[in-house]
Chains A and B, each alone.
Chain A
Amino acid sequence: MSQKWTGKSLGNGFLQFLLRSAVKYGGRHVAYFISYFVVAIYTIIPSIRKKASFYLKRRFKSHGAVKMFFHTYKLNLTLAKILIDRAVFGIKGDITIISSKQDQQLCRDLLAKGKGLVIITAHCGCWQIAMSAFDFMEGKKYVVYHRTKKDVDKHVHELSGSASPVNFIEPAGFAGGSIEIMAALHNKGIVCMMGDRTFGSGDNKVEVDFLGGKIDVPYSVYRIAAAVGAPVAVIFFPYRGGYVDSVITDAFFVENKGQKPQNYLNEAQKFIKSLEGFCEKYPYQFFNYYDSWKQNQPEEK
């Protein structure tokens, strides 16, 4: 049976509390130590393994049950460590986010065009602390983010008790957040959006190839960029164990090709190709715990 995205956090509220307390009173390494055991217990639970299997079976096609168990453990452990680092960042402010001088300059150059900047990323690496990496850029920063009641993960600013450095745009809000996004870009803002998961209007999708199958991804991000003339930067945030990298894999302008979803297929596919490259390099950092593929079984090679 296919399992769709619900917005529910993988760990429960108690687990999140436990890890946050470990960070607060013991530090990062104590929390890491606890996570090895907690994640092992979690990984034994069949429903958790099933959630992880949709992606892992496609990333590691020919691997058997034992190997798959370890892949699941590693995936879950990486997620736990990232959540710990996010807590460390929020509670102690202690994490290094690195971006190359070249990437920083590219972002500044794109922003200097005066049309704002659209950052497209995915649910991979340390995407939650992504915008903290852009202190070097001037302009109001926004993240398009839908939070359900089942999502118990705390944001960095909620952990630190400080004001959020970014503004959140709710895609379930008025007009699906579109007007707010476009107004933000018009005012030369920086808007970060997810390119790997559809949300909002049922028509906001275009079918692309991803890891040997077909998935639907949103095209509105490219339509908005085209409509306002904003440049697009594809940025991923791989976790490197204690520090986070911010890497631009692509940057482009989207030609205004009207309203039809298919007109933006190339851009959407280009982004997903970049995401495939990320999954190739960092197989345990794509956190897709639901079945986004249209066919459950990966194609046999």
Chain B
Amino acid sequence: MIPTSLDDVKKVLSENLDMQGIDLDCVKEDAPLFLGLGLDSLDAIELVVILRKNYDIVIENMDEGRKIFQTLGTLREHIEKTRKK
């Protein structure tokens, strides 16, 4: 397990996604990714790419994806548990 902070995740997201208008400093761990942060289907593609490129994590199926991408917190937890780099 490689410790991963919420700030680490926020930094990666802000570098790779268009998050203009969102003050990430104020976003809490339980913020829903697709409703709270306003991400859409195109951002979802990039999220999958980010996980693979930055952490060598592959989403195997939809059930897993649904759990991982619920909130910023679930995403962080999954990265921390499964990242290979």
Task: For A228, give the chain B residue with the smallest CB separation.
Answer: B48
Q: Which of B34, B49, B66 has its CB near the most chain A CB atoms (within 10 A)?
A: B49
Tell whether A227 pairs with B60 under 8 Å between CB atoms, given A175-B69, A176-B40, A201-B40: no
Interface segment, one of A25-33, A93-101, A182-190: A182-190
Encoded as 1 (CB less than 8 Å from any A CB) or 0, chain B from 27 to 64 comes to: 00000001000011110111111000000001111101
Measured between C-beta atoms, what is the minimum distance from A87 to chain B in Å?
Answer: 31
B interface SS class: helix
A178 x B48 contact (CB < 8 A):
yes
| Total residue contacts A-B, CB cutoff 8 A | 67
CA–CA, A179 and B44, complex, Å: 6
Q: Which of A220, A223, A259 has its CB near the most chain B CB atoms (within 10 A)?
A: A259
For B44, the chain A residues whose CB sits under 8 A away are 175-176, 178-179
Task: For B70, give the chain A residue with the smallest CB separation.
Answer: A174
Task: For A202, give the chain B residue with the smallest CB separation.
Answer: B40
B42 x A203 contact (CB < 8 A):
yes
CA–CA, A224 and B47, complex, Å: 12
Measured between C-beta atoms, what is the minimum distance from B54 to chain A in Å?
Answer: 14
For B41, the chain A residues whose CB sits under 8 A away are 171, 175-178, 200-201, 204, 220
A178 x B69 contact (CB < 8 A):
no
CA–CA, A178 and B62, complex, Å: 10
Q: Per a CB cutoff under 8 Å, which of B40, B60, B65, B66 touches A187?
A: B60
Measured between C-beta atoms, what is the minimum distance from A26 to chain B in Å?
Answer: 42
CA–CA, A206 and B67, complex, Å: 31
B34 x A186 contact (CB < 8 A):
no
CA–CA, A203 and B42, complex, Å: 8
The number of chain B residues touching the other chain, given as a range, is 20 to 34
Measured between C-beta atoms, what is the minimum distance from B74 to chain A in Å?
Answer: 13
B69 x A186 contact (CB < 8 A):
no
A204 x B48 contact (CB < 8 A):
no
Measured between C-beta atoms, what is the minimum distance from B3 to chain A in Å?
Answer: 26
Q: Is A180 an interface residue (CB 8 A)?
A: yes
B60 x A175 contact (CB < 8 A):
no
Measured between C-beta atoms, what is the minimum distance from B11 to chain A in Å?
Answer: 18
Chain B residues near A (Cβ < 8 Å) = 34, 39-42, 44-49, 58-62, 64-66, 69
Chain A residues near B (Cβ < 8 Å) = 171, 174-180, 182-183, 186-187, 200-201, 203-204, 220, 223-224, 227, 259
**Other than the known A176-B40, A179-B65, what 13 A-B pairs have Cβ atoms closer than 8 Å?**
A174-B62, A175-B41, A175-B65, A178-B48, A179-B47, A179-B48, A182-B45, A183-B59, A183-B60, A183-B65, A186-B60, A200-B40, A201-B41
